[in-house]
Structure 1
Amino acid sequence: MTSTSPTIWLIGGTQESAELANAIAHRQVPCLVTVTTDAARSLYPTTPTLQVRVGALHREQAETLLRTYHIGCILDASHPFAVEISTLAIALAQHYHLPYLRYERPVLASPSFVQTLNSPLHLISWQALLTDNYLAGQRVLLTIGYKNLALFHAWHDRACLFARILPSTVALEAALQAGFTSDRLIALRPPYTAALERALWQQWQITKVVTKASGSAGGEDIKYQIAAELGVQLIVIDRPAIAYPCQTSDFQTALSFCDTLGTAYPPTPS
């Protein structure tokens, strides 16, 4: 992508961002997608108007990106728990007077059938979970991503912990460093069917499952279903509270936002 025209910065890494990228590519609008892993790169189309950058971004790198790719607006479709990149993008948008929109999958409400059985326990943070005895003496499945497994290192002698991680070297190394043995790990790439979810919980005789409020795209709805069927306590860590200046869960609204491309270009700092 060599055009010097204003470019959309699409913060990706989710299935929703891949759908947006395909729609933007179809419009032949210059777009830069940023993701943190090589595995995520395969989600996006290969077109002359779309480029994918892999790797974490810090403030200086992101500011260089704004200049290098002539960024005209920011469409943030990162994971609901990707606090750092969203916070950085908001700060940059405000500093450089760039249009910013947060596109986020809807929050999943507990299904009505769950309310009559064992309602999920919603907690606001990892600290709220780990400073109480919710997990003590339980057989616990963690479906929380590899980055948070280290928080549970001290719990291996208080509960029987299992973890589902992505099939990557980074995830496996993080899990092992967090004290998980190979017989307590399973590496799978989503999506997970209800049948697979049920079989895994039964195989490990799980009594509690810890997950994040990632919505249907993260398999949260299936976990509600299987927890109700098997009588397993589901513990859901709610999404971080981020003050997004502008937010939507509507796909067409997100695409319409891309029409603002260039209205604040070139960016000028406050």
Structure 2
Amino acid sequence: VAEMTKLLHGASICVDATHPYATEATRTICEACETTGVEYHRLLRTESELPKNSIVFETAAEAAEYLESTAGNILLTTGAKELPAFKNLDIKRIFPRVLPTLDGIRACEALDIPHRNIIAMQGPFSLDLNRVILEQFNIQWLVTKDGGAVGGFMEKAKACAYCGARLIVLRRPRENGETVESILERCRKLL
């Protein structure tokens, strides 16, 4: 909060355009705006239309519990912070796609995920790259969040359809916010 408060010094408006699942970051930004008196606006990403055969869960823990009774390799694209929820699964089945950072690799190592299973890359990823990853690692299950178009959600969903993998989606946290158009209008008024 202190760092965000310092960053907001002298600002008139703050647009929180963080990932829809970055609830901790949003709380921090809100608190810093309240402390500084800076006007806060939450930019909402448009939710994706989920394919009909998607399996939807509220939490990563629920998805992991479901996957315990399945067979086949699992591509986790939910981020390093969600990895501990999958600790009870057979680690040989887990292929986490994480950011290529020390924190991302360490999160995988904390679960004893073999290095050969770690896919450390920065997205978003094209349909073709998603498809190739699914094929290369013989993935039957892809677990993701609905990051919208910016997060490459449809490319993952289409790759699953193409390869016959099942799509598991972690439901977005409920939030209030505004469209790009309404936030841009507010910014124009400030100028």
Scaled by the length of structure 2, the TM-score of the pair is 0.86
The match for 2:179 is 249
The verdict on how the C-alpha distance between 1:143 and 1:77 changes in structure 2, with shifts beyond 3 A counting, is: same
Uncovered stretches (5+) of structure 2, i.e. residues with no partner: none
Higher deviation after alignment, 221-230 or 83-92? 83-92
Greater Rg by CA = 1
Tell me if the contact between 1:74 and 1:98 (Cα under 8 Å) persists in the aligned partners.
Answer: yes
For 1:222, the equivalent position in structure 2 comes to 155
Amino acid at match of 2:84: A
> Out of 228, 233, 238, which is 2:166 matched to?
233
Instruction: Please give the per-residue CA displacement for 1:80-139, whole angstroms capped at 9, x wherever unaligned.
Output: 1110121233344456554211112210012xxx43xxx111111123223334564331
Query: Secondary structure of 1:255's partner?
Result: helix
Work out the CA distance in 2 between the residues paired with 1:133 and 1:210: 10
What is the aligned partner in structure 1 of residue 63 from structure 2? Answer: 129
Distance 1:132 1:227 in 2: 18
Letter in 1 for 2:29: A
Q: Separation in 2 of the partners of 1:121 and 1:219?
A: 18
1:120 aligns with 2:54: yes
1:196-250 deviations in Å (ceiling 9; x for gaps): 11111111111101011111111110111111122211000011223x3xx2232
Matches within 5 A, 1:72-87: 72-87=12-27
Percent identity over the alignment? Answer: 25
Aligned amino acid, residue 179 of structure 2: S
Matched AA of 1:130 = A
Q: Which of the pair is proportionally richer in helix?
A: 2
- TM-score normalised to structure 1 length: 0.63
Which stretches of structure 1, 4 residues or longer, exceed 3 Å deviation after superposition?
Answer: 60-66, 91-98, 131-136, 259-262
Q: Does the CA-based 8 Å contact 2:5-2:36 persist in structure 1?
A: no
Counterpart residue number, 1:109: 49
Contact 1:143 1:212 in 2 (8 A): yes
Query: Which residue does the alignment assign to 1:258?
Result: 187
| Aligned position for 1:165 | 98
Q: Which runs of 5+ in 1 are unaligned?
A: 1-57, 263-270
